[in-house]
Structure 1
Amino acid sequence: MPIYMDRHDLPGVTAKDVAKAHQEDLKIQDQYGCRAITYWFDEERQTAFCLIEAPDKGAVKAMHEHAHGLIPHQIIEVNNQVVESFLGRIEDRHVEDQKEPFIENESAFRSILATNIKYSKGKHQCLNKQEFILSQRRHHAIVSKMIERYKGRIAEYNEQCTLCSFVSASQAFTCAIEIRNSFVGNNRQNDKPVSVQLGICAGSPIAQSGDFFGNTIQQARNMCYMSERNQITMSSGVADHCRKNNISSFEKENVVILKRSEESFIEQLFHTMEKSCKKEGFKLDKLATELGVSKSQLYRKIVALMHLSPNDFIKEYRLSKALKMMEKQECSISEIAYETGFSSPSYFSKCFKERFGILPSLFINACESGEE
């Protein structure tokens, strides 16, 4: 049976009120073929999120309406394992006194840290298969160690990007600093330096996109993608949280804090690229028109935010998409080259090696070997 998560906006409601509502759900859940698994309540933002096994969304809504009248504002289907990887639990906590309702005052709001390897450009940085595999392992080892130290969770891991979930934005930021410092220290002893990119964004599990943490995950990935070598890019909301917790070290570090207007532009930019990057010869004029800015404005914005010319940004974005496709091992190199908008497989291979430090054929071979 499907698993659903719903969102309730509950101004003026207390944690005890939500606990009682959850108890009422449990009393009548069988009547609707449902199982009210657990919930999260965010007192600061006055929102609650319920995790429910049910035949369909209608049953979820009907159960809530009958039990207590608190009808959800949004319902999405979710994967239990994914929910656990980001939120840390998928059941009610154990209570000694079963006569008392389970009162959950844990927020489902999370800070998402995205981290990825950034290879140096240039012919001197070409890696063989074993060097590439070792660089990936080193990245995973450093991230795993720091995530455990700062009480985070690795929610998703692949060659493209590692996503980590934290209850606290300040923990996410401090962890990012430690990951960055570890890479800087390792590079002093490595003749083929490998840098790291980091992005941090925060949000609730259900927002406008209708996907579980969809907007937050995508923004964290975008911020990671646009970061320079050993740079941390964070949203304005994460920075505000750090300031509230008297963590001001990001003012002195290699950290970029985005304004809300910049976050909105980046979201638009990457959404447009997702739709258009497959088109060979996709021009800046078309991109500017779809974003509603002039060509000169587009140039200035992309250079300021990405430290790349718009043409280089388009190429980098296409290479990133190609990397994802190669991880799936469903298409040939030629098919991937044309699918992502490159004019020829040979030009694609040249660009891929410059960006990731390894030839596409060796990358696919490393994925197929299962050694990465």
Structure 2
Amino acid sequence: MPVFMDLHIGQGLTAEDIAMAHQMDLKIQGDFDCKCLTYWFDKERGNAYCLVDAPSKEAVYELHRNSHKQLPDEIIEVDRRVIKAFLGRIHDPEVVDYMIDQKIKVFNDPAFRVLLMLRIRDRQRLVHELGEKKAGEYLNAFEKVSQHQILKNNGMAAESGKGVTVATFTSAIQAVICAIDIQNFLHNDLEKIDLKIGIHAGQPVEKNPGLFENTLRFIRFICCFENSSNIIVSHTVTNLMESAQNSTLLNSPSVRCISKADENFLKSLIEVIYNNWQNPLFEMKDYLNTMSMSKSQFYRRCIETTGHSFNRVLREYRLHQALEKLMKTEKNVAETAFASGFNSPSYFTKCFQKHFNIHPSEYLN
């Protein structure tokens, strides 16, 4: 049976409200063929997220409507394995704040998470450049260091493979410490493995339907375009650390903090690119139609935030998407080129080889 997460945003609920609502759901869940697994409640932001085994979104909605009438703002289907990887559990936590009438558990466990992304050259490219043995040594060293530091700093490895590792943290300071420690331990290997580190934070569901999709899109993007070995920290994370009076680590020479204005600009840029990268006819003028910005202003902002022109950002984003397609699908080079927004396989091949230092057909094989 599918698993759904429903979200209640800014409805003025308290931890006790959510606990009692969850108990009401449990009493009648069988009437709707549902099984209420657990919930998360974020007192600071006033948001709640419920996890339910159900035959459909409609069943979840009707369950809430008939039990307590606290209707969800949105319901999305999720993978329970992904939920556990990113949020750490799919059942109620073992430790609760207190009990109501000795039977209703009350806890304040936010679903807000800080995400750390580590991106390195994938195995195919490392083998191509260094040979099987040396590539294996670098990859083993990276995996050993990254996994150890993630666990040491109370993080959870949520995704790993194909050159990308994502870890989740409940603390911004621990995520930043983890990133600095990983970079320090691997300082001799940074150039060879081309380590990129990005840190951002967010709710499990925001504007886009995938779990932590907005947060993941943002750090994937900044990890693609950062040319140095800096640790890139979003303004959202910087703000969390400043609020907790733990911002001294951000003064490290290896850390680059994104300003609030740059983060907002990048979010809008990412949204437009994500929605249009497969369209070979999409151009900068199409984007400017959605922004209150002149061409010269936009060009300057794009250079300031990414280090590249818009056309280059779009092209390199398409190349990274093409790289992932070659890893995961059975498409040939021409099919991958067209599916990635290129209207010429030969031009795609030229750009791919220049950017990744390997011919796409060689990479595919």
TM-score strictly above 0.5: yes
Seen in structure 2, the aligned counterparts of structure 1 residues 296 and 138 have a Cα distance that, compared at 3 Å, is farther
Match of 1:156 in 2: 159
Deviates more, 1:168-177 or 1:271-280: 271-280
Contact 2:153–2:178 (Cα < 8 Å) also in 1: yes
Give the letter for the 1:214 counterpart.
E
- State the secondary structure of the residue aligned to 1:323: helix
Seen in structure 2, the aligned counterparts of structure 1 residues 352 and 160 have a Cα distance that, compared at 3 Å, is farther
Contact 1:126–1:354 (Cα < 8 Å) also in 2: no
Q: How many residues align?
A: 356
Q: Could you tell me how far 1:9 is from its partner in structure 2? A: 3.3
Match of 1:309 in 2: 309
Alignment partner of 1:220 is 2:224: no
Deviates more, 1:78-87 or 1:300-309: 300-309
Match of 1:200 in 2: 199
Q: 1-side partners of 2:121 and 2:112: how far apart?
A: 29
Match of 1:84 in 2: 84
Q: Which runs of 5+ in 1 are unaligned?
A: 120-124, 366-372
Give the letter for the 2:174 counterpart.
Q
TM-score with structure 2 setting the length: 0.86
Match of 1:141 in 2: 144
Alignment partner of 1:178 is 2:181: yes
Q: Could you tell me how far 1:279 is from its partner in structure 2? A: 4.7
Give the letter for the 2:314 counterpart.
I
Residue by residue over 1:90-121, the C-alpha shift from the partner in whole angstroms, topping out at 9 and shown as x without a partner, is 012357999432222211111111221269xx
Match of 2:111 in 1: 108
- State the secondary structure of the residue aligned to 2:174: helix
Give the letter for the 2:296 counterpart.
S
Q: 2-side partners of 1:282 and 1:212: how far apart?
A: 28
- State the secondary structure of the residue aligned to 2:106: coil
2:120 to 114, 117, 120: 117
Q: 2-side partners of 1:206 and 1:36: how far apart?
A: 19
Match of 1:269 in 2: 269
Q: 2-side partners of 1:259 and 1:95: how far apart?
A: 37
Contact 2:138–2:189 (Cα < 8 Å) also in 1: no
Contact 1:160–1:324 (Cα < 8 Å) also in 2: no
Give the letter for the 1:355 counterpart.
H
Q: Map 1:256-335; keep pairs closer than 5 Å.
A: 256-280=256-280, 283-335=283-335
Residue by residue over 1:20-52, the C-alpha shift from the partner in whole angstroms, topping out at 9 and shown as x without a partner, is 221221111112211111111111112111101
Contact 2:37–2:92 (Cα < 8 Å) also in 1: yes
- State the secondary structure of the residue aligned to 1:64: helix
Contact 1:114–1:220 (Cα < 8 Å) also in 2: yes
Alignment partner of 1:20 is 2:47: no
- State the secondary structure of the residue aligned to 2:180: helix
Q: Could you tell me how far 1:270 is from its partner in structure 2? A: 2.4
Contact 1:160–1:320 (Cα < 8 Å) also in 2: no
Seen in structure 2, the aligned counterparts of structure 1 residues 95 and 303 have a Cα distance that, compared at 3 Å, is closer
Alignment partner of 1:165 is 2:168: yes
Q: 1-side partners of 2:322 and 2:352: how far apart?
A: 9
CA RMSD of aligned residues (A): 2.9
Seen in structure 2, the aligned counterparts of structure 1 residues 242 and 94 have a Cα distance that, compared at 3 Å, is closer
Q: 1-side partners of 2:172 and 2:318: how far apart?
A: 31
Deviates more, 1:52-61 or 1:75-84: 52-61
- State the secondary structure of the residue aligned to 1:30: helix
Match of 1:369 in 2: none
Seen in structure 2, the aligned counterparts of structure 1 residues 142 and 228 have a Cα distance that, compared at 3 Å, is farther
- State the secondary structure of the residue aligned to 1:238: helix
Give the letter for the 2:30 counterpart.
D
Seen in structure 2, the aligned counterparts of structure 1 residues 194 and 350 have a Cα distance that, compared at 3 Å, is farther
